[in-house]
Structure 1
Amino acid sequence: MITALRRVVKAGFVGFWRNTYVALASVFVLTVALFVIGATMFLDQLLSTSLQTLKSKVDINVYFVPDAPEEEVERIKNAVASLPDVASVDFTSREEALQRYRENNKDDEISLQALEELDENPLGATIAIQAKETSQYESVARFLEEQRELEQPQTPVIDEINYARNKESIDTLTTIIKAVEQASLVVMIILLTAAVLITFNTVRLAIYTAREEIAIMRLVGASNMFIRGPFMLQGIMYGVISGVLALLMFYPLLIWLGPRTEAFFELNLFTYYVAHFGEIFGVLVGIGVVLGLASSILAVARYLRT
């Protein structure tokens, strides 16, 4: 068993180096395919980060009346925070709202003077609510309106819910996010399919050059596994070498792209590449090995059937 395995491994390496041009062509095509796959991974990460940034800039603000009881404000805040659709609730007290107003209008002497003439703080507390998904804001707003309806008319707590003002922007953003996610998925499927087909045809062409050798091995009684083994090893070698080359090709490219993507998308792709190097290496080399191995098995199977 060990002797047979050694022969298979030796035959695989010999076949790889003997057909140098064919091997280089296979590695080149597979490297390009893996580079395209890797590029779609980075593009998907850029899109995800951009969409997440857009999501973080959308929220619902609830403005409470200035004299709203603190326990009622706290109750509503905790009720909203417990909703499964809510990602975060940011509370701003009356004092914080007043301080923020003064900072934002520090150059407006008229507004500051009018504020000083008032006997008490005219601003109420607020909560800024972020949902987990933009499509969930409607259910959160509905819950807030229900809370508003439970209030006593003579002692209102909630002054305003700005969902109606932001609804158009939220709906537009939700549509954009869904469209981008669907388009990204379609593009990735098309590129992966193209990579598989191109790799399979290239490896099949490489094995075609060894068809006479396969026929001779069958004539002398070699088992199917012994015939298939060297080509399977070559397919694995194609995948490993191509995966490493594709990974190395990204290094100088992402050094150049990193600062630019950080400026436009708030994500430095080179930093992401370094931080997730192990994962990216595993994915590219893994896909390369699977493509090379599967292509070799399918291509050899054709000659074993004839």
Structure 2
Amino acid sequence: MKIQWYPGHMAKAKRKMKEDLPLCDVIVEVIDSRCPNSSRNPEIDQLAKDKIRILLFNKLDLADDERSKLFMEDFHRRGFFTLGIDARNRASVKRVSKLIQEASQPLYEKNRKKGISSQMVRAMVLGIPNVGKSTFINAFVGRSTAKTGNKPGVTRGNQWIKLDKNVQLLDTPGITWPKFEREIVGYNLALIGSINDDILPIEDLVFYFLKYLVRYYPKAILERYGIEPEEGEAALSIMDKIAVKRACIKKGGDVDYTRVSRLILDDFRSGRLGKISLEHPGKWSDEGDEDSAVE
């Protein structure tokens, strides 16, 4: 199943972002720790190739600790400054200011050689919808400056936010990209809520997710639902058992697949299923590899 989501306002936001890029020294990209590859807009690498790059691994508390560590090490080797955060936690977010200062040292040195004493840094904050970008900015600034919401596309316009005499942030709307080249990307973004829930059947999405859980996190199913997947057991069978356990049954005894799918998806997004990552560093593929449950 091919999943795409690129509303018209995103094309306009992308054009505005490209116009503002020359004004910025640092690019701070907020990504979802549960799927770092899928939640990075691949167009940013080309657009911001000459900028200082910072990757903030948000929702770190929801992701697999070991996989997150490997991802941050991998991106660091590729020239990114990386930091894991929980955007809802101000103590966690305070470390970002120090990182921006550290990452900007080459810029300060370059300015000193030109006789420029100012240490003002302008940082553009980017992120696809629903990765917690606006929540991060609000926690960073210490007041509710950027609009937040649990639906993709809440922030619609660029806005400058002055943190102190040395740092200005440019908040930008969350944008995806026109075409997901890999099927796994669409599934992952749908699971974390970065694309509109209404564009695909929730039952198909959760069926995919359950296959992934059986393969990589069977213990999560046992601990949350009291169901231990049997060897080779189909995801549909497990979904039926969860439905019975959680009383997601229609009149007449049929399974209410929409209701049980919503329950499972909400358990994942809220962290009630435990720390789960949808990716780990390795070869991208859509069929039967270590990153995907699609077969």
TM-score range, shorter chain: under 0.3
TM-score between both structures, scaled by the size of structure 1: 0.25
Higher percent of residues as helix: 1
TM-score between both structures, scaled by the size of structure 2: 0.25
Please tell me whether Structure 1 or Structure 2 has the larger radius of gyration of its CA atoms: 1
